[in-house]
Every structure is written in C-alpha cells, then in structure tokens.
Amino acid sequence: MRLPIAALALPVAVQAANYSGPLRPQVHFSPPSDFMNDPNGLFYDAKRDLYHLYYQWNPYELIAGNQHWGHATSRDLYHWTNHPPAISPSNADEYIFSGSAVLDRNNTSGFFPDQDDGVVAIYTLDTAEAQTQNIAYSTDGGYTFTKYTHNPVIDINSTEFRDPQVTWHAESEQWLMTVAYSADKVIGFYTSPDLRDWTHASNFSRADLRGEQFECPNLVKFAADKHVLFISVNPGAPLGGSGTYYLVGNFNGTHFHPETANFTLYEFSKDNYASQWYTDLPDRSSPISIGWASNWDYAEEVPTGELEDWRSSMSVPRQHSLTQVQGVWTVTRSPYDLSAVQGRRLPNHNHTDGVSVDFSSVQSKAIYFEIDISGLPADPAGEVRFHFSSPAGDHLDGGVVLDTGLFWIDRAGTQLYTAANNTDFTPLSNTSVAVDGGLAFAGVIDRSVLEVFADDGTQSATVSYFPSAPLDRLAVGARGLSDGANVGLAAWGLDSGWVV
C-alpha cells in the first residue's frame, strides 16, 4: 500500500532493544523498536546453518513509512539476533518495499565470480512516480547489499506494481518472479536466466476475489507436484482490513493452472498477513513460512507503541504440507519445531468443572498447549471452552460447540485495547471444525499473540490482544457432554528467544 510518510535517508544503527515489556512476545519475532510490517527475503543459508529474516521497518516512527529492510538471523527460527538494516533508501523520496532474497549458488547473475553463496535481493523501489522491481547483491552472506547499477530490472510505468517473490524453477532452469499488479488485481509471472533480464511469461487474474488490491503473492512448490498460489489483499478482505487467500494448482514454467475455481481463506481470524516462504531449504524439507501478525485496520494504533516503543510481531514460524479434505487439496500448518524453546510440561490442576494450568511461574508468560476431546458419540452434545486469564481480570476465551462444530475465539476481555478503541478490532473469530468421535487442537499464547491450529492443521487463527496484566492461567471446562466423553489438557512452558 502507498505510505504517505516522507522517507528519511539517514544511517540506522542496530539498537540495544528492550524485550522485557509485558506485551513483548518472547517466541514471536518483533522489531528492536518502532514499526514493522511484512516479512521479506526469507532464505536459509545451509553453509552457515542460518535463517535470515528481512522485514518492512520504519526505524524512526511508530507508524508505517520510511520503509527499510530490517534484518535478523536465527539458527532455530526462535532465537533471533538483530542486525542493522540490510537495504535502505538512497534518497529522501524512496521506499524499499517488500520483496524476496535467493542464494545464487551458480553465479547466474555474474555478481559472484569467486563464491557459491552470493545473495541477491529482489525488491520494489517505491517513489511518487513509479513502483519498479530492483535488485541488490551481497557478497557477505546477506548482511550488506550493493544496489545494481542498472536498476530497475523491470519498469512497466506503474505506481501499483509490487512485492516480487523470486524462486529457482528447476524444471525450466530459470528464475521465476511472482509479482502483483496491485490495483488491477492481477498476478504476473516473469522469468529470467540471470536475475537481471526478465521476460513476461503470463498473467493470472481473479478480479472477483474480495479485496481492493493484491499484495505479497507467493507461489510455493509442495510435494505431490503441486503449487500453491498465496495472494494477500488489502483493504476489504473478507474478515475486514487485510487478509490472505490461497489456491492449489500446477505451474508449468510459464502459467499457473488452478485445480479449482475456489480460493481458500488462509485463516479464520484477522491477524495473519503477507506470509512469506523460505527459499533454499534442504531437499525434501517441508515448506516454512512466517507471516505478519497484525491487520492494517489497527496496526498503527495498538498500544505497544506508546507503552513499549514498538509495534507488530511476526507469526511463529510454520511448517506446512498438503492434504486432501473431502477430495480438495488443503494447506496444513503447525508451529515449526518448538524444541529450541520448549521447557517442562506444566502440572494440571483438576477441578469439579474442569482442569487448569497455572503458568505464572513461566518467566516468558508463553506456553504451547494441546486440548484433546475424545469419546464422543455419533451425535455429540455440549460445549468445551478454554479461558486464559490475568490477575487483573483480563480474559481471552474460546471453545467449540460440539453439535454444530462451531469453533470460536473471543478477545473482548483483554482490556488495554478493544473495539471501543477501534471498531475494526472485532472481538470474535470463528469457523467450523470436524467433530467425528472427538477432536484436538493446539496453540501458542505469547503475551500479546495467540495462535491456534485445528482440524489437523487445516485451519488456524492468529489473534493479537492487549491485556492490562499478563495472562498466566489457562482453564478448560465442559458442559453438557455425553457420558464417556473426556477432555484432556497438556501445556509446556516456552523459553524466551531473547535475553531479557
């Protein structure tokens, strides 16, 4: 989206950030300070066993603008090291918008005559006159970049042409760019032998898709020889503000062919946008993504800014697969391997009305939890609810109505920011889940972000919330269940990814 704040062409140093605030997520990435939005340029460097995360960052203000590529690295996707911005504006009237990064192992670009680990970043340069696709190259593993002297590499004389995702298409032995003609609601595909010279291959259009503009497309190769096209839209997404769809199909090197006419909404909640997918993962690895855990309806207003000098976090890293649900290929998601931060299992406390876990002793105030409902008859009745609470009376609730499969989450009980502050901060998220003799779901709660994964990972929700005191107790209760039904709860403390 066009951002009206004038860019400041000033050097930015890496900051000694404070990650100890009560709203600061501990296993979700957030910026050192100020405002962050889309993830960019996710790539894995196998030689150094290092994951790189770049992101849209305004290092000067708590609202969007002054777009730089912020930068952080991790060996496990949970413990992060912040670095100075990797790509910054050269002039005061420029923004470095979203894009991607790849390892050019075979030096197709010619930038790396003496190495096999050169990194090329592909990004949108935004000015008042145009949005163009540009490249920059790094000889030091992705920490510093040199802008290509013959930029832009694609210029179609448009102010609504952005967010290139580039991958290597092995079958045709060429680079593939997926990019948005945003206002036209069209996805373009371009090919290149060398990352410098690009040829338009085809367009894919779905003008009927709900939402005003297309952004941050990703074409992702899955097993079963399938490709999945992810398209983010803003504003006017089905749940309000920004949101993401996906469509399963096949890509033949020039054209994307969907298997169905129906797009699937990626989440049943409002706070996951512009997910990007890691490039250069080892062969046979499951696809891994990270998304922006916010929504443009209120991202610039949430109270972390005034209270703790930062706004927005990312989702937890997610691993993915494709599975068939009633004959339709569906993307699954679950938290990427939590073992790097997963601590001890927390003891359950049984009550007459259910079971609870007290995690006030967990320093991070972050936990991973699993809720299992079993022994249900063919025509189940009753409801199972979960309830997070704080000593100050804040609460975040959810549950499943077993006879209809209605699954819901309600953030209205967290008190620092509610629909009274912004009517677009809608409290309820809901979907329908399969109830067939039982069901299970899992989640991560982390100070101001809740992520829930249900229906064998085919459905998920990311919910931002802002309590006046940390939520530190989880209670699970049931009512009206049939004889023989059982509800189980397991929870583990999560260690902080930051030194606090």
Secondary structure string (H, E, C) spanning the chain:
CCCCCCCCCCCCCCCCCCCCCCCCCCCCCCCCCEEEEEEEEEEEECCCCEEEEEEEEECCCCCCCCCEEEEEEECCCCCEEEEEEEECCCCCCCEEEEEEEEECCCCCCCCCCCCCCCEEEEEEEECCCCEEEEEEEECCCCCCCEECCCCCCECCCCCCEEEEEEEEECCCCEEEEEEEECCCCEEEEEEECCCCCCEEEEEEECCCCCCCCEEEEEEEEECCCEEEEEEEECCCCCCCCCEEEEEEEEECCCCEEECCCCCEECCCCCCCEEEEECECCCCCCCCEEEEECCCCCCCCCCCHHHHHCEECCECCCEEEEEEEECCEEEEEEEECCHHHCEEEECCCEEECCEEEEECCCCCCCEEEEEEEEECCCCCCCCEEEEEEECCCCCEEEEEEECCCCEEEEECCCCCCCCCCCCCCCCCEEEEECCCCCEEEEEEEEECCEEEEEECCCCEEEEEECCCCCCCCEEEEEEECCCCCCEEEEEEEEECCCCCC
Q: Which of 38, 104, 271, 446 is catalytic?
A: 38
Is 38 catalytic? The answer is yes
Which are the catalytic amino acids?
A: 38
